[in-house]
A and B are shown apart, each in its own frame.
Chain A
Amino acid sequence: MEKTPKPRLFASFRGRLLASVSSGIILLVLIVSSATAWNFYSSAAAQLTSQGLTVAKSLGAQSLLALLYESPANAEKPLATIMSFPEVEQAGIIYPDGSPLLTKTKSAASVPQIVPDESLLSPSKVHETKDRWHFAAPVRTGDSDDFTFPEDAPFAGEAEGQLLGFAYVVIDKGPLYKLLLTMVKNNALIALAVALFLVLVVNLIISRILTPLDRLIEVMRRNEQGRRREPVTETGPTEFINIARVFNRMIASLADHERQLRDQQEGLEKMVEQRTRELVVARDAALTANRQKSNFLANMSHELRTPLQAIIGYSEFVHRCLMKKGGGEECADLERVMRNADLLLTLINNILQMAKIDAGKAELTLQRINLRKLLEEAVDAMHPLMWKNHNEMTVIFDLENDFINIDREKLLQMVLNLVSNAGKFTQNGEVELLVKGREELLEVRVKDTGIGLSPEQQSLIFQEFRQVDESPERRFEGSGLGLAITREFARLMGGEIAVTSELGKGATFCLSIPLPIAELPDHEEGKARIV
């Protein structure tokens, strides 16, 4: 069963879209909040700075009398007024050298003052620390001369008055920081609330936007499960409509292809059915014909063999009578008759064998035999042929055990077929019979120095009724069934026969039969049964 992958966070389109938009909203809200706080801080700082300058200027204007009289008593009232401002932490009236005429402070310890430059012409911020602003306003004679009236304009000069001292004011930034902190907290809370609300709204919007996509996915899933080819409704944003449109076209195309495939499949099935019916009919006809052929051959062979054996029997009887009377020319003619009758009988027997094989009636009769004796019997039978063609025959038996379980008649026929072929196609040469008997394999190798076989001939010699020389003027007799029968017998025993040869250089036939011979099941059609 396919394992469902664990869903990753923000893996879905909705999740990613929501995450992206939410991140943007939160970032935007935080930026706006921070910018607002910073803007507020800047404005408040500028306002406090302006206020500090105004306070310093005001104190400077009120400090003239105190500095003129060098009287701290005169400074008490203006300083008390200035100190009533909540942001003013410290205020003082000082001489140009920095020594105080009078200083008042709200802190436990007085804030160190910066001695302003004597060239200071107007109220200025003379120092700033993390916690405080320091302002100073010069107090000069003539500064309070009022030339703002239009009628005084021509008398306004440029000369500076004498510097009497400075009005010094220290503004505490603490309240500003507290206010800023409060504002930042409030802003953050409001921003988060707004962001949360916006995220919820965006989530709703995204859900509404993605509804057609979800519907599309559901339809795709149903289509994937193959229940039916179902088109999707083309609604929603343009992109989704395009996807749905393409999907619908694909579904329509797919349905069309499936319909064509179905039609083709039905056509093919009908055709196969028809062909199968025709083949069955043909096969049955062929089987019937083959069976009839085999029956015909078997019947014919039987019918031919019976009178032929009678001919041979009576010929032998006449031959024996003639021999008793002294033989003569008639005896030699009769011998020719007997030899040709034997050949004819062999041919009929071979045809009968092939007919049995073709009809699937060939049977193995396994029995424990003395292999060595069987081979010697075969060699003895072949000596006349060897002598006739002036061949020298070499026999090598390499047997681990003389006794094996095998079909004696078929093995004997196979060995005789191979050795007789070698003797027949070799003149004044050598024929070697090598038999290796092992526990798991019986190998019979027949090697000759005869006329040999071309590659084309090698592919033909195991077919029925095929001979190397099929011309009307052929030199060698034979029915063309020996090697075909030998191969069929070998296969019947689970073995095989192979040939290696070169034209004019002889041939080597190798028969291999694995041991023990397998007992084939009775029902296997076309194969021999073990008896």
Chain B
Amino acid sequence: MKRFQHYILKLSVLLVLIMVFSSAAAAAGKTVVVLPDTGGPLRDIYAAIIEGIKLESQAAVESLFITEDSEPAAVIKQLQNRRATGVITLGTQGQGLAEDLAEHFPTVAGALVAKPENLSGVSLIADPEALFAHLTRLVPQSRRVFVVYSEAENGWLISAARKAAAKYGLELLAHPAKSLRGALREYRKLLIQLAGREDAVWLPIDRNTVDDSVILPLLLKQAWSRNFVLFSSKPSHVKKGALFTFYPDNLGLGRQLVNLLGRQQSGVIDAEFLKSVLVAVNLRTATHLGVSFDAEQKRNIFLLYPPK
């Protein structure tokens, strides 16, 4: 009899636990990730972001693929059918729908190149704070950081960068330019000022001021001859000779999106830079500059070029 009572007790505890978790899940709701049905490297990147979302989110996570022809109304209806309590859009296509979705659901946009307007979202652009933190950690001698940018594309980044630079004791010398021709003129001027490892040139992702066939070769040649540090926000530049650059930490981006969605559900609209980044270093350039890495620093490096 006691044994029977013991089983009844165990079963009751189990049922209570199930009910508790079910109600918690129901309370957490459902997060639907709206993303383009694409192939290639983007598919892997989006999969990693969704993995990060799933790891961070307490709600159930589902994916909803869209195409270029998807109508906002149809997507909204599908989300309503799925009883979505929060929406995370990925990529430029997702951002195009996000403003419409935001009227019906708490929505944040992720994996963006530009700053989202009137929308909560996380850009792929690395947070300047992380950028300068890595710079000072890799090249402690750094004092001045030069950057040529276009206000249209990177005005918000530079204003944030100014604050971050001050935080890390760096002087950010930002030169605005409207066109590549203007950027070239600015670079010709500032190249005169550059001297040694105390100076660094930062290449942001900016179509108006950065060009892989003109600007990049010019700066790489000058950096090599004048021994200043050239780092970039574009991942592939490290393969071409920049000292270091950043890879988005896609898992971290997923987590950041979940957190932002939580804040957005509380009524806060905010556009954030990517806080979680991975650094890639060109060892050949580092060797040329005389930069060495200790074990701790090497642990924080995601990729090394050229690969051994």
- Listed in ascending order, the chain A residues whose CB lies under 8 Å from chain B are 61, 64-65, 68-69, 141-142, 144-146, 149-159, 161-162, 164
Q: Decide if B235 is an interface residue (CB 8 Å cutoff).
A: yes
Question: Is there a chain A Cβ closer than 8 Å to B55's Cβ?
Answer: no
Binding site for A on B (CB under 8 A): 40-42, 45, 91-92, 111, 113-114, 124, 179-181, 184, 205, 207-208, 210-214, 234-236, 239, 247-248
**Looking at B41, B114, B124, which has the most chain A CB atoms within 10 Å of its CB?**
B41
Chain A residues whose C-beta falls within 8 Å of the C-beta of B213 in the assembled complex: 61, 64, 144
Known: A141-B207, A155-B205, A161-B208. 11 other contacts (CB 8 A): A68-B184, A141-B179, A141-B211, A142-B211, A144-B212, A151-B236, A152-B235, A155-B124, A157-B207, A162-B179, A164-B181
8 Å CB contact of B210 from A145, A151, A157: A145
**In the complex, which residue of chain B has the Cβ closest to the Cβ of A159?**
B207
Would A153 and B45 be within 8 Å (CB), given that A144-B214, A159-B207 are in contact? Answer: yes
Q: Is the CB of B247 within 8 A of A64?
A: no
Q: Are B208 and A142 in contact (CB under 8 A)?
A: yes
A420 to chain B, nearest CB (A): 143
Instruction: Establish whether residues A157 and B113, one from each chain, have CB atoms under 8 Å apart when the complex forms.
Output: yes
Interface contact A155-B180, CB-CB below 8 Å: no
- Residues on B with C-beta less than 8 A from A150 are 40-41
Please state if A149 and B235 are interface contacts (CB–CB under 8 Å). Answer: yes
Q: Give the residues in chain B near A141, CB-CB below 8 Å.
A: 179-181, 207-208, 211
Most buried by B among A61, A145, A151: A151
Partner of A154, one of B111, B208, B211, B212: B111
A149 touches B111 (CB 8 A): no
B contact residues around A162 at 8 Å (CB): 179-180, 208
Pick from B181, B211, B236: contact of A152, CB below 8 A: B236
Chain B residues in 8 Å Cβ range of A153 = 40-42, 45
Are B124's CB and A154's CB within 8 A? yes
A-B contact pairs, 16 of them (CB 8 A): A64-B211, A64-B213, A68-B184, A141-B180, A141-B181, A142-B208, A144-B212, A144-B213, A145-B211, A149-B236, A152-B236, A154-B45, A155-B113, A155-B124, A155-B235, A159-B207
Contact at A68–B212, with CB atoms within 8 Å?
Answer: no
Residues in A neighbouring B214, C-beta threshold 8 A: 64-65, 68, 144
Judging by beta carbons under 8 Å apart, are B184 and A69 in contact? yes
List the B side residues contacting A155 at CB < 8 Å: 113, 124, 205, 234-235
Q: Is the CB of A152 within 8 A of B45?
A: no
**Contact residues in A for B210 (Cβ distance below 8 Å):** 145
A50 to chain B, nearest CB (A): 22
Specify which chain B residues have a CB less than 8 angstroms from the CB of A156 in the assembled complex.
Answer: 113
User: Do A142 and B236 form a contact, CB below 8 Å, given A154-B45, A154-B113, A155-B124?
Assistant: no
Shortest Cβ distance from A167 into chain B, in angstroms? 13
Whether the Cβ atoms of A151 and B92 lie closer than 8 Å is: no
A480: min CB distance to chain B, Å: 137
B180 cross-chain contacts in A, Cβ below 8 A: 64, 68, 141-142, 161-162, 164
Please tell me if the beta carbons of B208 and A152 are within 8 angstroms of each other in the complex.
Answer: no
A65–B92 CA distance with the chains assembled, in angstroms: 31
| Cβ-defined contact, B207 with A161, below 8 A | yes
Shortest Cβ distance from A150 into B: residue: B41
In the assembled complex, the Cα of A153 lies from the Cα of B247 at a distance in Å of 11
A142, B207: Cβ atoms closer than 8 Å: yes
Assembled-state Cα–Cα distance A144/B210 (Å): 10
Per the bound structure, the CA–CA distance linking A1 and B149 in Å amounts to: 113
Q: A154, B42: Cβ atoms under 8 Å?
A: yes
Task: Give bound CA distance, A152 to B203, whole Å.
Answer: 14
In the bound complex, CA of A156 to CA of B207 (Å): 10
**Cα distance A418–B234 in the bound complex, in angstroms:** 160
Residue of chain A at shortest CB distance from B245: A151
Select B207's contact among A145, A151, A164, beta carbons within 8 Å: A145
Bound CA span A69–B218, Å? 13
Please indicate the chain A residues that have their CB under 8 angstroms from the CB of B124 in the complex.
Answer: 154-155
Find out whether the CB atom of B248 lies under 8 angstroms from the CB atom of A68.
Answer: no
Kindly report which residue of chain A lies nearest to residue B178, judged by CB atoms: A162
A148 closest partner in B (C-beta) = B236
Residues of the A chain whose Cβ atoms lie less than 8 Å from the Cβ of B181: 68, 141, 164
> Inside 8 A of B179's CB, which chain A residues have their CB?
141, 162
Q: Which 4 A-B pairs have the closest CB atoms?
A: A144-B213, A141-B180, A149-B236, A151-B235
* Chain B residues within an 8 Å CB radius of A152: 234-236
Q: Which residues of chain B are within 8 angstroms of A145 by Cβ–Cβ distance?
A: 207, 210-212
Q: Which residue of A lies closest to B45 (CB)?
A: A154
Q: How far is the CA of A155 from the CA of B41 in the complex (A)?
A: 12
Take A142-B211, A145-B212, A162-B180 as given contacts and tell me if A157 and B235 are in contact as well, using a CB distance cutoff of 8 Å: no
Residue of B nearest to A142 (CB): B207
**CA of A154 to CA of B250 in the docked complex: distance in angstroms?**
11
Across-interface contacts of A164 in B (CB, < 8 A)? 180-181
* Contact between A146 and B212, CB atoms less than 8 A apart: yes
How many Å lie between the Cα of A104 and that of B83 in the bound state?
A: 67
Which of B114, B207, B208, B236 makes the CB contact (< 8 A) with A146? Answer: B236
The interface residues of chain A lying within 8 Å CB-to-CB of B235 are: 149, 151-152, 155
- On chain B, the residues within 8 Å of A154 by CB distance are 42, 45, 91, 111, 113, 124, 248
Docked Cα-Cα span, A69 to B181, in Å, equals 7
A164 vs B92: C-alpha distance when bound (angstroms): 27
Q: Kindly state the separation between the CA atoms of A141 and B208 in the bound complex, as whole angstroms.
A: 7
**Which residue on chain A has the smallest CB distance to residue B40?**
A153
Nearest-Cβ distance from residue B238 to partner chain A, whole angstroms: 9
Taking CB atoms, residues of chain B closer than 8 Å to A157 are 92, 113-114, 207
CA distance A68 to B183 in the complex (A): 10
A123 to B276 CA separation, bound complex (whole angstroms): 40
Compute how far the CA of A162 lies from the CA of B114 in the bound complex, rounded to whole angstroms. Answer: 18
Would you give the shortest CB distance from B203 to chain A, in whole angstroms?
11
Q: How far is the CA of A68 from the CA of B217 in the complex (A)?
A: 15
| With A61-B213, A141-B208, A145-B211: A158-B236 Cβ-Cβ less than 8 Å | no
Q: Which of chain B's residues have a CB closer than 8 A to the CB of A144?
A: 211-214
- Give Cα A64 to B211, complex, Å: 10
Q: How far is the CA of A150 from the CA of B41 in the complex (A)?
A: 6
**A153 CA to B36 CA in the complex, in Å?**
14
The answer, among B208, B212, B247, for a CB contact under 8 Å with A151, is B247
A residues within 8 A CB of B211?
A: 64, 141-142, 144-145
Taking CB atoms, residues of chain A closer than 8 Å to B234 are 152, 155
**CB proximity of B7 to chain A, nearest CB, Å:** 55
**Cα distance, A321 to B160, chains bound together (Å):** 207
Distance (Å) between the CB of A283 and the closest chain B CB? 125
A68–B215 alpha-carbon span in the complex (Å): 11
Q: How far is the CA of A162 from the CA of B181 in the complex (A)?
A: 10
Question: B224: shortest Cβ distance to chain A, in Å?
Answer: 19
A307 → chain B, closest Cβ, in Å?
Answer: 158
User: Which residues of A are found within 8 Å of B42, using beta-carbon distances?
Assistant: 153-154
Bound Cα distance from A144 to B234, whole angstroms: 14
CB of A452 to closest CB in B, whole Å: 131
Cβ contacts under 8 Å, B111 to chain A: 154
Bound state CA distance, A61 and B40, in angstroms?
26
Residues of A within 8 A of B207 (CB): 141-142, 145, 157, 159, 161
Closest CB-CB distance, A90 to chain B, in whole Å? 24
Whose C-beta in chain B lies nearest to the C-beta of A161? Answer: B207
Whole-angstrom CA separation of A153 from B48 in the bound complex: 14
**Bound CA–CA A261/B60 (angstroms):** 117
* Alpha-carbon distance A159/B236, docked complex (angstroms): 20
Chain B residues with Cβ below 8 Å from A146 are 212, 236
A145 to B233, CA, bound (A): 13
